Amino acid sequence: MNKEPKDAAERRAGKPVVCYTVDQLPPLDLALHQQALDSLEWVETVIVPPRDGRVLAVPRGHVFRIRSVEGPQVGDLNLWNANDLDERFYSGKTRQLQASHVSTGDRLWSSFPYVRPLATIIDDTLAWYGRDEDGAGVHDVIGTRCDPYTNHLLAGTDYHYCCHSNLTRALAQYTGLALHDAERYVHDVMNVFMCTGFTLDTQQYFMKASPVRPGDHIDFLAEIDLLVGLSACPGGDCSATHSNDQTQCYPLHVDVLKPSVSVLQAHSAAEASGYSRTHGNS
């Protein structure tokens, strides 16, 4: 409809600048993370059935490991402060401070006004994947979660085993909240094991078959006391579709692991931002 202006090339010539420099953030203690990995003791395993969700508690300084066990399966991850559900994972801020797809060494950040790491990824067997020729990567924080509202809007059908519904039921069951109260705490996710990107021509969010295989896992170090919510997506490996009962799906396992006492003592809780809720006048 509108023609290019004469100075279009000049307008496009600006150089990209990273929006957030993170040099001033506390550095990652890679040696401590490796020490934690080398000293893990099993505490419990929670099985997340296909097309279902579970919530579990993970104390500060412990590790939770999400494992593929029977076949390629994607999971949708929520995180909450175990003592205050209002503090929860903030995928958009994580995307800005880390990347669109996260892996070893990346932190998962919490919502305003806290803005602190909830968990740090300390091991990822799919870190080798990087970016493929389609521009796709693994473990994205750009998608939201499959939900019954969008499904009804686009397809006119009702489906209640999507990740939003699974996480809502799981949180309600764990906390004793009514479903409508639990639902408001369910939030945008980290898509664990999911392979995604944006198409080059239309810039639409796409998914493709996950490279995850039985034995693959991703490990997170809990920076504060957490409630961890995970849904085994009805899309299975997300190679074709989701939100149906026909796609082959598999369970996911979540292990809670305790590092040695010396590592726990060395690990201090992440500090909140400290910014006041009172805003100054502009």
Label residue 8 by pLDDT band (50, 70, 90): very high
**Average pLDDT of the segment spanning 193-200:** 96
**Average pLDDT of the segment spanning 207-230:** 98
**Average pLDDT of the segment spanning 101-110:** 97
Average model confidence (pLDDT) for the chain? 94
Rounded to whole angstroms, the Cα distance separating 134 from 160 reads 31
Q: Provide the token pair at 236.
A: 């299975």
Rounded to whole angstroms, the Cα distance separating 16 from 144 reads 26
Share of the chain above pLDDT 90, in %: 84
For residue 18, what are the CA distances in angstroms to 11, 26, 96, 98, 190? Answer: 18, 19, 9, 11, 22
Over residues 149-162, the pLDDT tens digits come to: 999 999 898 999 99
Give the per-residue pLDDT at 279: 65
**180: alpha, beta or left, given left = phi > 0 and alpha = psi -120 to 50?**
alpha
Nearest C-alpha neighbor of 65 from the set 108, 28, 105, 119? 119
Label residue 282 by pLDDT band (50, 70, 90): very low
Residue type, 247: T
The residue that leads in pLDDT, 52 or 268, is 52
Beta-carbon contacts of residue 93 (< 8 Å; ≥ 6 apart): 109, 111, 115
pLDDT at 280 over 80: no
HSE (side-chain half, CA atoms, 13 Å) at 269: 10
Collapsed DSSP state (helix, strand, coil) of residue 163: helix
Q: Provide the token pair at 78.
A: 């929520």
Share of the chain above pLDDT 70, in %: 98
- Report the residue count for the chain: 282
**Average pLDDT of the segment spanning 75-98:** 98
Over residues 159-170, the pLDDT tens digits come to: 999 999 999 999
pLDDT at 281 over 60: no
Give the per-residue pLDDT at 275: 87
Over residues 19-66, the pLDDT tens digits come to: 998 888 888 888 999 999 999 999 999 999 999 999 999 999 999 999
Residue type, 53: G
User: Do 90 and 111 meet the contact criterion of CB atoms below 8 Å apart?
Assistant: yes
Over residues 236-256, the pLDDT tens digits come to: 999 998 778 899 999 999 999
